[in-house]
Amino acid sequence: MFSIKKYLLILLGMTFSLHSIANIQPKLISTNTLSSAPGYELREITFTDANGETRVQELYYIHSREGAKNAHLFGGLPIEEKEELENEMDSWGGDWDANQPLARNNAQDPEQLNPHTWIIDRRGVMISSDAEAEAYANEYNLQQVIEEEIQFPEGDNEAANTLNSARTSTSKRQIKGWFSGWFKKCRGWRNKSKHFGKSIDKNFSHDKRFGKDNAYIDFKGDLKVKADLNLDLNYRYKRRFCIPYKFRVRNIVAKSNYDASGKFSLTGKAQHDFGDFKWEIAKPKVMDSWFMIGPIPVRVAMKLPIEVGTGNIQVEATGQVALVKPVHFKGNFHYTCTTSACTKNSAQHQNLSGSLQNSLGASISASARIKPYLHIAARPFVYGEWFLYAQVGVKPSFPIELYGYWGNLCGDGNNDGHRETVGAALSTIEFEAGITGEAKVFGAYILRPKYWKIWDTSLFFFDFLSPGSSAFSPILRPQTQASSLAVSLPVSIRSCVSRFANKFPVDYQINWGDGQISYLNNVKSSSTMNHTYQSSGTYPVTVSYKNGISTTVNVTVDNDDWGGDW
């Protein structure tokens, strides 16, 4: 339940400042394990105290009978302290927790029934005289801590006056001497508590990419948090010569009121380019001629290379999980936690988001692209291709794509707050033509291979699903005006198939719900139709892509010019 770092900060605060100056906190710099064995660790803690001075402290961490034994054997824990810890485990330390059964009387493993963890100051547990205690107190400026630890018998006014006199004295020797006389006045255990409170009103935003290049996951999240946090730390510590040297956490009581809202998306993508596979069909020589420039013979020849290829073969898969609208939660909790478990005192949780099923979306899509081509070029050269050549050719190709989609992140067709789950399985074939060119001298490019597209057109579109891919069911957002029977109906393509509709426009049929039918053709992204009804009422308007693939939305019109219910 509690981390080592939390224990360190708590102990440092309690030992050196918590008893005296509540607003001063030590600052942890580092920890170093000096020795460890089952059930125990000895750590060296480096920190800065309230005056900014760097201190080094050695602390035992013990949480079992075996740990107490190992701390004595390997870490130098005094035998008296080891035996005291064992007695505390046997008896649960007297009144530490009266409701706990005695471990020694339980048939279960006692080690599992003693979840307490002790933290002990190695130097503090070694103090055996007033002189050592006084030196330790002076080194760490613990005079004020000792003052608070001293408990005077009721009515002992003389001791109280002596303490006040020591507090106001300018003589350090006098103060030291007075403390020395009271060191033995405060031994044994004390119970204390500390309260922490914190209010939070903050927006968190985070973007992170895991992976890189052709395989990665993108996380994007936005969160708004308002909370009041209250923490009560109840602990028990023991003193030697008025100096706290050992403590354990009894429990932590946590209370909070919270109000949180936010959204996130998690998108994964994997893609791979297999490259261009090509085969040279032929490379016939169509010309070879020599002529003289004075005494110099010159050769000019030309070949006609012919090749076919696949183009760059690409495959890609994308998956996404996201909140399509923000979620909002509110509530409170009250827990009591020990070092072994937490107990719920009360808790209340409210979901202010509506249906969480409608808030969460997921999708997956995949595509494969291939671009088979035929390349015919003319390659004239001088002397030989090794010396100088230039090539110009024509390259017709047929880009082919296979595409699939499934999910509910592709829009809300009828605007009812619920994103429909839709699917698509499509194939497209296009035609593209371009000019190629390249040139080399002595094997070095003076014009690297280039391709200039001069023409392209869409040839073929195929929907593998019957009667059609539901992703082509449109998004409808009808618009009406008060005291009017007219309606304006924008019809939009869903985002997951919009790039296909841009090349292969979609035709829709509109049933206005009053017996009238309209047709909307060649929709690339969005198009609007207008209609006027003959009478007031609510009409179900259905826009169909193919038989059975449609979106329906209710449209209400009213031409009451008299303002309703006079």
pLDDT in tens, the chain (566 residues): 334 444 444 444 444 433 333 345 677 888 899 999 998 999 998 988 777 888 888 999 998 889 999 999 999 999 999 998 888 877 654 333 333 333 333 334 433 444 568 899 999 999 888 888 888 888 888 877 777 777 655 555 555 565 566 555 544 444 455 555 555 567 778 888 888 888 989 898 888 888 887 888 888 888 888 999 888 888 888 888 888 899 888 888 888 998 988 888 889 889 888 888 888 888 898 888 887 777 788 888 888 999 999 998 999 999 988 877 788 888 988 888 876 677 888 888 888 877 766 678 889 999 999 999 999 998 888 888 888 888 989 999 999 999 999 999 999 999 988 889 999 999 999 999 999 999 998 889 989 999 999 888 888 899 999 888 999 999 999 999 888 899 999 999 999 999 999 999 999 999 999 999 999 999 999 999 999 999 999 999 999 998 789 999 999 998 865 554 44
Which H or E run contains 83? helix 79-91
User: Is residue 385 a contact partner of residue 391, using CB atoms and an 8 Å limit?
Assistant: no
How many beta carbons lie within 10 A of that of residue 91, not counting itself? 12
For helices 65-75 and 79-91, angle between their N-to-C axes, nearest 10 degrees: 180
Q: How far is CA 44 from CA 31, 61, 244, 543, in A?
A: 6, 11, 18, 74
User: Is residue 136 a contact partner of residue 126, using CB atoms and an 8 Å limit?
Assistant: no
Tokens 């046997």 found at: 90
Tokens 């808030």 found at: 359
Which residues have a Cβ under 8 Å from the Cβ of 459 and sit 6 or more positions away? 398, 429, 430, 431
Tokens 């070092």 found at: 339
How much is the pLDDT for 180?
53
Q: Measured between alpha carbons, how far is 538 from 533 in angstroms, rounded to an integer?
A: 10
How much is the pLDDT for 2?
39
Sign of CA dihedral 135, 138, 142, 148: positive
How much is the pLDDT for 295?
78
Q: Is 508 exposed, middle or buried (0-12, 13-18, 19+ CB in 10 A)?
A: buried
Q: How many CA atoms lie within 13 A of 171 on its CB side?
A: 7
Q: Measured between alpha carbons, how far is 411 from 473 in angstroms, rounded to an integer?
A: 10
- The token duo for 319 is 């998956």
How much is the pLDDT for 42?
94
User: Is residue 209 a contact partner of residue 202, using CB atoms and an 8 Å limit?
Assistant: no
